Amino acid sequence: QKEVEQNSGPLSVPEGAIASLNCTYSDRGSQSFFWYRQYSGKSPELIMFIYSNGDKEDGRFTAQLNKASQYVSLLIRDSQPSDSATYLCAGGRALTFGSGTRLQVQP
Partner 1 sequence: NAGVTQTPKFQVLKTGQSMTLQCAQDMNHNSMYWYRQDPGMGLRLIYYSASEGTTDKGEVPNGYNVSRLNKREFSLRLESAAPSQTSVYFCASSERGYTSGDRPYEQYFGPGTRLTVT
Positions in the binding site for partner 1 (CB under 8 A): 6, 8, 31-32, 34, 42-46, 49, 51, 88, 90, 93-100
- Which of residues 42 and 77 has its CB atom nearest to partner 1 in the complex? 42
CB of 63 within 8 A of CB of 48? yes
- Which of residues 8 and 12 has its CB atom nearest to partner 1 in the complex? 8
Q: Return all residues near 26 (Cβ < 8 A) that are at least 6 apart.
A: 1, 2, 3, 4, 5, 70
φ, ψ for residue 13, nearest 5 deg:
-135, 150
* In the complex, least distance from residue 44 CB atom to partner 1, rounded to whole angstroms: 5
- Which of residues 66 and 99 has its CB atom nearest to partner 1 in the complex? 99
